[in-house]
Amino acid sequence: MSFPQHRPRRLRTTAAIRRLVAEHRLAPSELILPVFIREDLSEPNPITSMPGVVQHTTASLLAAAREAVELGLGGIMIFGIPAVRDAQGSAGLDPLGVLNKAIRDVREEVGDDLVVMSDLCLDEFTDHGHCGVLNEAGDVDNDATLDIYAKMGVAQAAAGAHVVAPSGMMDGQVAVIRDALDEAGYTDVAVLAYAAKYASAFYGPFREAVDSQLHGDRRSYQMDSGNRREALHEVELDLAEGADIVMVKPAMSYLDILADVAAISPVPVAAYQISGEYAMIEAAAANGWINRRAAIEESVLSIKRAGATMILTYWAAELAGWLREN
């Protein structure tokens, strides 16, 4: 094919024509705000490596949830930081534990006006910081962890989560959680599966955000960054186990994976713009090295363009505010 007469620049001459031919645009309804609630906190606590993000008190969390509704955000993803941790991560099962209580409080505040999602993982609750319990050799014990995940899922559903989001990358986690939810009567609670979650250096700031106790790494359960085909296998397994939504994480360094998954997934695809992606842009902008707003908009739009149906981003509220201006 040849188009000797065609000048692509014709369709770039004015803002109005660029808007007309735009292939992708963002909407507040596809943004999900990740939030951290910390037990026994009297004031919101800033996270140094994520300027602008805090560990919430109950009051500040509820204010953030209300704002999310006003902005028309799609959802909120709640992470809990307990005051006391143990080897089994028991605080994650406690109906009055920090996360389950926060789910209940947020649900009471927003009702069904916002999709309330909860992180279903043990790393915030264990004193060793791993996403599962350990066996005698000190390795993460997949199947012993599954039993706990199943109970955690039911506890979160009982607290009012619309969606539970297993992020621990244990094999078989979606199936046991789905079964447990159904058995307990929570057939309408959805599972958002962290299907292709890679062992990433870009989770660094998150570890500060949740006061992570981890020494070492998660390479025995999260994916190796060199692997592409394996991501589709992980997604297929989660679909077969009953995942309602599948996630790729991180986003920026894995847009090829996201595009692959979007091409085959029969269910909605989520992508998580993680703490390190946030921190890099904030740090460069604070130094005056990049235009903050333009970089944020471009980074999130690229995730949409790669195929995400929904995007978790710490900029969800600010970005939604900008989208309303447009």
Question: Which residue numbers are catalytic?
Answer: 197, 249
**Region near ligand PBG per CB under 6 A, out of 106-114, 119-127, 141-149, 258-266:** 119-127
Q: How far is the CB of 20 from ligand PBG (least distance, A)?
A: 35
In the structure encoding, which two tokens stand for residue 167, read together?
């992020």
In this structure, are strands 45-46 and 54-56 parallel, antiparallel, or unpaired? Answer: antiparallel
Specify the amino acid at residue 82.
P
Q: How far is the CB of 23 from ligand PBG (least distance, A)?
A: 28
CA distances to 24, 64, 106, 291 from 194, in Å: 24, 24, 22, 31
Residue of the chain from 186, 206, 221, 254 that contacts ligand PBG (CB under 6 A): 206
Closest CA to 74 of 133, 134, 34, 43: 34
> Looking only at residues 208 through 247 of this chain, which bind ligand PBG when binding is defined by CB under 6 A?
218
Residues 256-275: x where in contact with ligand PBG by CB under 6 A, - otherwise, as a string:
------------------xx
CA distance 263 to 55: 36
| Phi then psi dihedrals of residue 292, to 5 deg | -55, -55
Q: How far is the CB of 274 from ligand PBG (least distance, A)?
A: 4
Which residue, judged by CB position, is nearest to ligand PBG in the bound state? 206
DSSP β-bridge partners for residue 198: 223
Please report, in angstroms and rounded to a whole number, the separation of the first and last CA atoms in the chain: 37
203/254 with CB nearer ligand PBG: 203
Residue of the chain from 39, 105, 109, 123 that contacts ligand PBG (CB under 6 A): 123
Q: How far is the CB of 235 from ligand PBG (least distance, A)?
A: 18
> Looking only at residues 6 through 25 of this chain, which bind ligand PBG when binding is defined by CB under 6 A?
none
Residue of the chain from 126, 156, 167, 265 that contacts ligand PBG (CB under 6 A): 167
**Region near ligand PBG per CB under 6 A, out of 10-18, 116-124, 285-293, 315-323:** 116-124
- Assess 313 for contact with ligand PBG (CB under 6 A): no
| Burial degree of 270 (CB within 10 A; 0-12, 13-18, 19+) | buried
Q: Where is 16: in which H helix or E strand?
A: helix 15-21
CA distance 169 to 219: 10
Specify the amino acid at residue 96.
L
Residue partners of 153: CB distance under 8 A and separation at least 6: 120, 164, 166, 177, 180, 181, 189, 191
Q: How far is the CB of 11 from ligand PBG (least distance, A)?
A: 37
32/235 with CB nearer ligand PBG: 32
Query: Site size for ligand PBG, by CB under 6 A?
Result: 10
Residue of the chain from 105, 109, 119, 238 that contacts ligand PBG (CB under 6 A): 119
Helix (H, G, I), strand (E, B) or coil at 227: coil
The size of the chain, in residues, is 326
- Assess 198 for contact with ligand PBG (CB under 6 A): no
**Region near ligand PBG per CB under 6 A, out of 63-71, 105-113, 117-125, 227-235:** 117-125
Residues that bind ligand PBG (CB under 6 A): 119, 121, 123, 131, 167, 203, 206, 218, 274-275
